[in-house]
């Protein structure tokens, strides 16, 4: 079933769906991927900017608080307790501020060491420290000196606050200037706010993208304030080592960050596979470089999840579709498969095979119904055919039997050949159908040959039945001595009687006197015969009467044709001359005569078959349209003289025989010596007959003498007892002493010595004795 | 054709001379046989069949001659055929009838033979 429609449908549909679906999903993926990437980058940007802005706000808040404190101190004079109280409030009320100090310029303090109260958070408790001591020595601290030097607020580099909070921190320091009465501006104090690096790291830690992402925060000098590992805090960035990130790149990035130009650098992640990215920028508030390290894999993980999801979705959808296609196709083609297997059975002739149910109105159901109907029709048709075939073969069998019977009515069963010295005859009939209406017959009497050739109107069974009737009547008449014209009239009356179907026969009826060659014939509307004489063919003139069977008491004229030795006569039916070729042209009498003439040198049987072939060649592929009959009659040419006489065995037999024989031979100018020898031979043979045949007195002995070009033949016929003198006859021993010599039995010796051939045969209850003597060439002239 | 038989007796020499004229055939043989029997029965030393005018002879005729020859030979006498025509001679040859018969081709031979017989008789 690999090539079945359903298999192909399933495969093709699934493939097509896979391509469409795959294409669609691919397109969707491309679009979605772009969207996801855009969204991701936007989200990252928002996240980063929010985190950065939080940090900026946070730092701004610190700066603002510190600046506010500084502005207050510019305006008003506070007692030391007042300053302390204010500082304490600032630290207590601002979580982000680890500690705050007001370092008053020593010029305005009572104490030489100056005055610098400092409050800071110590385990959640606001503690106080006075930085105005030798160990702290605030006037030497960068947070005191740097703003004064700069004349404006600054963030210090991170440092470890020894003697204060004891933590890593950075400080925002604001110088406070006052204006004296003279309008001179002078430094009063430096107000500071401390931020621990831990707090900074906590805020910076909000800046991250992904699990393993972390933020970077540097001081302006490049010290690490926030990074992944606490150990690296307070180190300079140049001592940090990232794989595959060289120092030059760091320098470059760092300098660009200080200038406010963001930069990005990608490098292989140090702790996981894939690429990592560093983005470095600058905080506006403090000018600190701030950065973010993240893994691209993690950033893109939503995209990867999406890819996996869409792949799974695609595969399962395709699978579902294949199954659906399979189910639908199978369901749709199941009747087709059943039909296919059913038709295979039908092809083997099993017409009773069940066809699938067809209830719907779709094409398959229509097809199934058509097959059902075809199957039914086929069954009926085959049944009809079987019946018809049986009928036909029965009919053919009957027709074949009829043909056999019909042919058996004709001499030679349809093709006859008769040949003897006096006459040769060949005849053949070939019906156009199994049976036909043509007929021929002949009958050889003692002195006459009776011939008939006829053609019943129409052909086929009806003609055959009428032909049977006609030929029976003809054969009844053939033995009688009735002349042909009278016989024809008789036949006509017999056939006309009760001939309600008005069938008719054309007939040629002839009687040939063999010895004289005189042919007397009558024609009942039959085609005139053709005569071949001396190499030329002519159509014989004839007077004809009406066809037989139509009206009674008709007159049929008698025709006479004198046949000469060597003549050949052809009597045929119109199946020959009215044979058509594919040009609708008739074979015709002229063509027949030409062909008849051309076949003149052949023996009659061969000539007859050649004429049949000629007609067949002419008609070619066309079926034979009418029955064909041809009868050829040869009146042989003889180059011999013959005389026959009959003798009774009474007195003076030898004398009578010899006087007849002598006269005959003398007439033929036979040499006297031969005549005397033949006299002797004749006497010896006749004497034998006389002695041994036992003929009755009224039975005659027939003697024939024949002279051919080079021989003389003597033939004796008698109806006596079978006796072969050359075998059975007594033959005396010659040359013996006269005493022992036998008297008698000498005649046979004489006959065998005086002739060259001796022959005896028994024929038709007759002894036929033939002897022949070769003679020298004689004058062949016809005797006078 | 008929047969004419003329018999001349030479008593002195005891010779019977039978002249045949015509045809000695089946028809004529029976009569000739009777005639010849008479001649042979007369007991002459020599019976001469003169065939000078015999035109025809068949086996029936030869049978009669054979019979006579047999009779004469058995009684020590002779039968001779003289003056046979060629075709008569041919029949004799075919039937090998000659060896035991005195044959005379013509009258002269016959006369010579008769003379020799007479001399023989005188010498005795």
- pLDDT at residue A143 greater than cutoff 80: yes
d(CA A403, CA A415): 14
Contacts of A747 in chain B (CB under 8 A): 58-60
The pLDDT value given to residue A783: 41
Closest CA to A172 of A109, A101, A76: A101
pLDDT per position as a tens digit, B33-67: 999 988 888 888 888 888 889 988 888 888 888 88
Best CA proximity match to A506, nearest among A403, A415, A578: A578
Label residue B100 by pLDDT band (50, 70, 90).
low
Backbone angles phi, psi at A552, to 5 degrees: -90, 170
Mutate to test the interface with A, among B2, B23, B26, B29 (most CBs of A within 10 A): B26
Q: Do B59 and A684 touch (CB under 8 A)?
A: yes
Phi, psi of A740, deg, nearest 5 = -90, -5
Q: Residues A458-475: pLDDT tens digits?
A: 777 888 888 888 888 888
Average pLDDT on A228-246 reads 75
B-contacting residues in A 727-746 (Cβ below 8 Å) = 734-735, 737-739, 741, 743-744, 746
Nearest by CB to A739, from B55, B74, B95: name it.
B74
Region A197-220: what's the mean pLDDT?
85
Residue from B29, B31, B37, B58 whose CB has the most chain A CBs within 10 Å, to mutate = B58
Contact status, residue A275 vs residue A296, Cβ threshold 8 Å: yes
Per residue in A634-647, is it b (16+ CB within 10 Å) or e — as a string?
bbeeeeebebeeeb
DSSP A720: S
A21-30, A62-71, A538-547, A724-733: segment of lowest average pLDDT: A724-733
Q: What is the pLDDT of residue A781?
A: 41
- Write the CB contacts of A170 (distance below 8 Å, at least 6 apart in sequence): A155, A156, A157, A158, A159, A194, A195, A197, A200, A219, A225
Mutate to test the interface with B, among A654, A677, A685, A737 (most CBs of B within 10 A): A654
Q: Does A755 touch chain B (CB under 8 A)?
A: no
Asked if A687 lies within 8 A of B60 by C-beta distance, the reply is yes
| Residue A451: per-residue pLDDT | 92
3-state secondary structure of A143: helix
Residue A83's pLDDT is 85
With beta carbons under 8 A apart, name residues in chain B contacting A734.
95-96
Quote the percentage of chain A above a pLDDT of 90: 12
Whether B18 and chain A come into contact, CB under 8 Å, resolves to no
Looking at the complex, report in whole angstroms how far the Cα of residue A779 sits from the nearest Cα belonging to chain B. Answer: 24
For chain B, the straight-line distance linking the first and the last C-alpha, in angstroms and rounded, comes to 46
Helix axes A747-754, A672-692, angle to 10 degrees: 140
Percent of chain A surpassing pLDDT 70: 95
Residue B56 and residue A676: Cβ atoms within 8 Å?
yes
**3-class SS of residue A98:** coil
User: Residues B13, B16, B21, B22: is their CA dihedral positive or negative?
Assistant: negative
Q: And the tokens for A643?
A: 């005389």
- The Cα–Cα gap between A235 and A226 comes to 10
Q: How far apart are the C-alpha atoms of A458 and A438, rounded to whole Å?
A: 10
Q: Does B74 touch chain A (CB under 8 A)?
A: yes
* Confidence (pLDDT) at B69: 83
Contacts of A692 (CB under 8 A, 6+ apart): A720, A721, A723, A725, A729
Give the mutation candidate from A653, A682, A746, A755 for the B interface (greatest B CB count, under 10 A). Answer: A746
Contacts of A752 in chain B (CB under 8 A): none
Burial (Cβ within 10 Å: 0-12, 13-18, ≥19) of residue A540? middle
Q: Which of B91, B99, B100 sits opposite A750 (nearest CB)?
A: B91
In this prediction, residue A384 carries a pLDDT of: 93
**Pick from A59-68, A245-254, A759-768: least confident:** A245-254
**β-pair partners for A748:** none
pLDDT, position A230:
80
Mean predicted confidence (pLDDT) in A127-137: 76
Q: Is A655 on the interface with B (CB under 8 A)?
A: yes
Average pLDDT over residues A415-425: 84
Pairing mode, strands A154-155 and A168-179? antiparallel
In angstroms, the separation between the Cα of residue A445 and the nearest Cα of chain B is 37
User: What is the residue-averaged pLDDT of chain A?
Assistant: 84
* Residues on chain B touching A751 (C-beta within 8 angstroms): none
Using alpha carbons, select from B107, B57, B53 the residue that is nearest to residue B80: B107
pLDDT-derived band of residue A763, with 50, 70 and 90 as boundaries?
confident
Most confident region among A9-13, A167-171, A346-350 by mean pLDDT = A167-171
Helix (H) or strand (E) segment spanning residue A93 = helix A80-93
Alpha-carbon distance A685 to nearest alpha carbon in chain B (angstroms): 11
Which pTM value belongs to this model?
0.41
Q: Which long-range contacts (CB under 8 A, 24 or more apart) does A67-74 make?
A: A67/A153, A67/A174, A69/A100, A69/A102, A69/A174, A69/A191, A70/A153, A70/A174, A70/A175, A70/A176, A70/A191, A73/A102, A73/A176, A73/A188, A73/A189, A73/A191, A74/A176, A74/A177, A74/A178, A74/A188
Give the distance from residue A419's alpha carbon to the nearest chain B alpha carbon, in angstroms. 39
Give A-chain residues touching B75 at CB under 8 angstroms. Answer: none
Is the pLDDT reported for residue A341 higher than 80?
Answer: yes
CB contact under 8 A, A741 and B66: yes
Q: How confident is the model at residue A710 (pLDDT cuts 50, 70, 90)?
A: confident
Residue A210 and residue A298 in contact, taking contact as beta carbons nearer than 8 Å:
yes
- Residue A463 CA to residue A460 CA, distance in Å, equals 6
Q: Are A676 and B87 inside 8 Å of each other by CB?
A: yes
C-beta separation of A425 from A411 below 8 A: no
Strand B15-24 vs strand B78-82: parallel, antiparallel, or unpaired? unpaired
**CA torsion angle for A12, A15, A20, A26 (degrees, to 10)?**
-170
* A240 has a chain B CB within 8 A of its CB: no
Give the confidence band of A782 by pLDDT, cuts at 50, 70, 90: very low
Phi-psi region of A454 (alpha: psi -120 to 50; beta: other; left: phi over 0): beta
Q: Select the residue of A683, A744, A749 nearest B26 (Cβ to Cβ).
A: A683
Smallest CA–CA distance from B26 into chain A, residue: A654
Pairwise pLDDT comparison (A538 vs A499), residue with the higher score = A538
What are the backbone angles phi and psi of residue A425, rounded to the nearest 5°? Answer: -145, 135
Asked whether the beta carbons of residue A654 and residue B66 sit closer than 8 angstroms, the reply is no
Chain A residues with CB under 8 Å of B74 CB are: 739
- Quote the minimal CA–CA distance from A735 to chain B in Å: 5
Closest partner CB to A739 (pick from B60, B70, B91): B70
Indicate if the pLDDT at residue A36 is higher than 80: yes
Report whether A638 contacts A590 (CB < 8 A). no
User: pLDDT, tens digit, for every residue of A648-689?
Assistant: 888 888 889 988 998 888 888 888 888 888 888 998 888 888
Cβ neighbours of A688 in B, within 8 Å: none
Q: Do B99 and A735 touch (CB under 8 A)?
A: yes
Question: What is the model's pLDDT at position A203?
Answer: 86
* CA nearest to A656 within chain B: B1
Residues in chain B: 124
What residues are paired with A120 via a beta bridge?
A99, A127
Q: How confident is the model at residue A438 (pLDDT cuts 50, 70, 90)?
A: confident
Q: What are the two backbone dihedrals, phi and then psi, of residue A72, each rounded to the nearest 5 degrees? A: -60, -45
Give the angle A331-A334-A340 at the CA atoms, nearest 5°: 160
Minimum Cα–Cα distance from A747: chain B residue: B59
User: B69 — contact with chain A (CB < 8 Å)?
Assistant: yes
Query: Which residues of chain A are within 8 Å of residue B69 when distances are taken between CB atoms?
Result: 738
**Short-list A280, A284, A271, CA closest to A48:** A280
Taking Cα atoms as reference points, which of A458, A465, A454, A553 lies closest to residue A505? Answer: A454
> Encoding tokens for residue A235?
């180190």
With an 8 Å Cβ cutoff, is A347 touching chain B? no
- List pLDDT tens digits, range A291-311: 888 887 787 787 888 888 888
B39 touches B47 (CB < 8 A): yes
The pLDDT value given to residue A8: 81
Q: What is the token pair recorded at A656?
A: 């009578």
Q: A737 contacts in B (CB within 8 Å)?
A: 100
CA distances (Å), A616 to each of A576, A580, A628, A770, in order? 10, 10, 11, 46
Taking only the tens place, the pLDDT of each residue in A494-506 is: 888 888 778 888 9
Orientation angle between helical segments A197-204 and A5-75, nearest 10 degrees:
150
Of the listed ranges A268-282, A625-639, B95-109, the least confidently predicted one is B95-109
User: Average pLDDT, stretch A528-537?
Assistant: 89
Gap between the Cα atoms of B124 and B118, Å rounded: 10
Measured between beta carbons, the chain A residues lying within 8 angstroms of B70 are 738-739, 741, 743
Q: Is the dihedral of CA A187, A188, A189, A190 positive or negative?
A: negative
**Rounded to a whole number, what is the distance in Å from the CA of A753 to chain B's nearest CA?**
7
Please report the ipTM that was assigned to this predicted complex: 0.83
What pLDDT is recorded for position A744? 53
A435 vs A155, which has greater pLDDT? A155
**CA distance, residue A651 to nearest chain B CA (Å):** 8
- Asked if pLDDT for residue A597 goes beyond 70, the answer is yes
User: pLDDT tier at A2 (50, 70, 90 boundaries)?
Assistant: low
- pLDDT at position A355: 78
A306-323 mean pLDDT: 86
Instruction: Report the pLDDT averaged over residues A734-753.
Output: 66
Q: What is the mean pLDDT of residues A498-521?
A: 87
Residues A522, A558 contacting (CB under 8 angstroms)? yes
Q: How far is A607 from chain B (nearest CA, A)?
A: 50
pLDDT at A741: 47
Is B81's Cβ below 8 Å from some Cβ in A? no
Angle between helices A461-478 and A363-408 (to 10 degrees): 0
Place of tokens 């490049």: A222
**Looking at the complex, does the CB of residue B91 fall below 8 Å from at least one CB of chain A?**
yes
Alpha-carbon span A646 to A277, nearest angstrom:
156
Contact A734 B56 (CB under 8 A): no
B117 interfacial to chain A (CB closer than 8 Å): no
483-542 of A, contacting B, C-beta below 8 A:
none
- Residue A608 sits at the chain B interface (C-beta within 8 Å): no
Is any Cβ of chain B less than 8 angstroms from the Cβ of A754? yes
Mean pLDDT of A492-519: 86
Distance in angstroms (rounded) separating the CA atoms of residues A176 and A147: 10
CA A363 to chain centre: 24
pLDDT in tens, A78-109: 888 888 888 888 888 888 888 898 888 887 77
């Amino acid at each position: 079933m690999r090539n079945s429609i359903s298999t192909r449908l399933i495969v093709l549909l699934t493939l097509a769906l896979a391509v469409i679906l795959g294409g669609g999903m691919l397109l969707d993926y491309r679009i979605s991927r772009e969207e996801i990437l855009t969204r991701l980058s936007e989200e990252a940007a928002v996240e980063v900017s929010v985190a950065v802005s939080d940090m900026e706000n946070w730092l701004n808040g610190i700066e603002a608080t510190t600046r506010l404190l500084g502005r207050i101190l510019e305006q008003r004079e506070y007692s030391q307790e007042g300053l302390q109280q204010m500082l304490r409030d600032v630290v207590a009320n601002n979580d982000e501020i680890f500690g705050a100090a007001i370092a008053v310029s020593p010029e305005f303090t009572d104490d030489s060491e100056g005055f610098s109260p400092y409050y800071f958070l110590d385990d959640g408790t606001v503690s106080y420290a006075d930085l105005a001591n030798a160990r702290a020595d605030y006037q030497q601290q960068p947070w005191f000196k740097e703003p004064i030097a700069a004349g404006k607020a600054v963030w210090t580099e991170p440092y470890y606050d020894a003697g204060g909070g004891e933590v890593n921190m950075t400080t925002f320091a604001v110088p406070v200037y006052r204006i004296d009465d003279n309008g001179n501006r002078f430094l009063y104090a430096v107000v500071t706010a401390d931020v621990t690096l831990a707090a900074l790291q906590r805020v910076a830690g909000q800046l991250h993208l992904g699990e393993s992402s972390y933020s970077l925060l540097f001081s302006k000098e490049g010290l690490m304030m926030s990074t992944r590992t606490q150990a690296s805090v307070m180190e300079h960035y140049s001592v940090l080592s990232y794989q595959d990130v060289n120092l030059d790149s760091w320098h470059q990035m760092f300098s660009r960050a200080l200038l406010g130009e963001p930069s990005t650098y990608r490098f292989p992640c140090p702790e996981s596979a894939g690429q990592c990215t560093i983005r470095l920028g600058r905080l506006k508030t403090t000018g600190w470089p701030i950065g973010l390290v993240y893994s691209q894999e993690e950033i893109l993980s939503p995209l990867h999840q999406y890819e996996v999801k869409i792949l799974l979705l695609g595969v399962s959808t395709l699978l579902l579709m294949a199954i659906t296609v399979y189910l639908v196709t199978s369901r749709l083609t199941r009747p087709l498969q059943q039909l296919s297997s059913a038709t295979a059975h039908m092809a083997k002739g099993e017409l009773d095979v069940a066809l699938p149910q067809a209830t719907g109105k779709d094409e398959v159901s229509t097809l199934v119904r058509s097959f059902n109907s075809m199957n039914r029709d086929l069954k009926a048709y085959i049944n009809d055919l079987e019946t018809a075939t049986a009928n036909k073969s029965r009919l053919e069998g009957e027709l074949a039997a009829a043909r056999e019977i019909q042919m058996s009515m004709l001499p030679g069963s349809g093709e006859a050949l008769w040949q003897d010295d006096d006459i040769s005859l060949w005849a053949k009939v070939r019906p156009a159908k199994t049976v036909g209406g043509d007929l021929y017959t002949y009958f050889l009497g003692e002195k006459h040959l009776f011939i008939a050739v006829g053609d019943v109107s129409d052909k086929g069974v009806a003609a055959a039945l009428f032909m049977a009737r006609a030929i029976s009547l003809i054969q009844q008449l053939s033995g009688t001595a009735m002349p042909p014209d009278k016989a024809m009239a008789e036949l006509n009356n017999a056939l006309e009687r009760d001939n309600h179907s008005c069938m008719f026969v054309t007939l040629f009826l002839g009687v040939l006197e063999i010895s004289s060659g005189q042919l007397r014939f009558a024609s009942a509307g039959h085609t005139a015969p053709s005569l071949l004489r001396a190499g030329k063919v002519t159509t014989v003139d004839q007077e004809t009467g009406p066809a037989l069977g139509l009206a009674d008491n008709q007159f049929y004229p008698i025709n006479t044709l004198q046949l000469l030795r060597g003549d050949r006569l052809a009597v045929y039916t119109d199946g020959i001359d009215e044979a058509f070729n594919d040009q609708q042209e008739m074979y015709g009498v002229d063509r027949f005569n030409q062909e008849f003439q051309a076949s003149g040198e052949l023996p009659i049987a061969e000539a007859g078959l050649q004429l049949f072939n000629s007609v067949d060649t002419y008609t070619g592929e066309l079926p034979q349209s009418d029955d064909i009959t041809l009868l050829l009659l040869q009146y042989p040419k003889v180059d011999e003289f013959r005389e026959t006489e009959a003798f009774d065995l009474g007195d003076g037999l030898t004398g009578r025989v010899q006087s007849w024989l002598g006269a005959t031979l003398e007439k033929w100018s036979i040499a006297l010596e031969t005549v005397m020898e033949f006299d002797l031979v004749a006497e010896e043979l006749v004497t034998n007959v006389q002695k041994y045949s036992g003929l009755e007195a009224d039975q005659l002995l027939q003697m024939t003498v024949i002279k051919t070009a080079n021989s003389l033949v003597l033939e004796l016929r008698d109806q006596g007892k079978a006796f072969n003198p050359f075998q059975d006859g007594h033959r005396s021993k010659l040359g013996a002493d006269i005493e022992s010599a036998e008297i008698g039995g000498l005649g046979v010796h004489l006959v065998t010595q005086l002739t060259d051939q001796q022959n005896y045969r028994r024929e038709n209850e007759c002894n036929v004795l033939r002897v022949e003597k070769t003679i020298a060439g004689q004058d062949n002239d016809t005797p006078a | 054709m008929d047969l004419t038989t003329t018999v001349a007796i030479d008593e002195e020499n005891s010779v019977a001379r039978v002249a045949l004229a015509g045809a000695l055939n089946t028809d004529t043989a029976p009569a000739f046989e009777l005639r010849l029997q008479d001649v042979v029965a007369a007991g002459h030393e020599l019976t001469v069949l003169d065939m000078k005018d015999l035109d025809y002879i068949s086996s029936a005729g030869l049978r009669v001659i054979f019979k006579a020859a047999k009779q004469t030979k058995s009684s020590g006498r002779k039968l001779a055929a003289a003056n046979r025509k060629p075709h008569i001679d041919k029949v004799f040859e075919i039937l090998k009838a000659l060896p035991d018969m005195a044959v005379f081709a013509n009258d002269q031979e016959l006369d010579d033979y008769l003379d020799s017989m007479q001399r023989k008789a005188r010498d005795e």
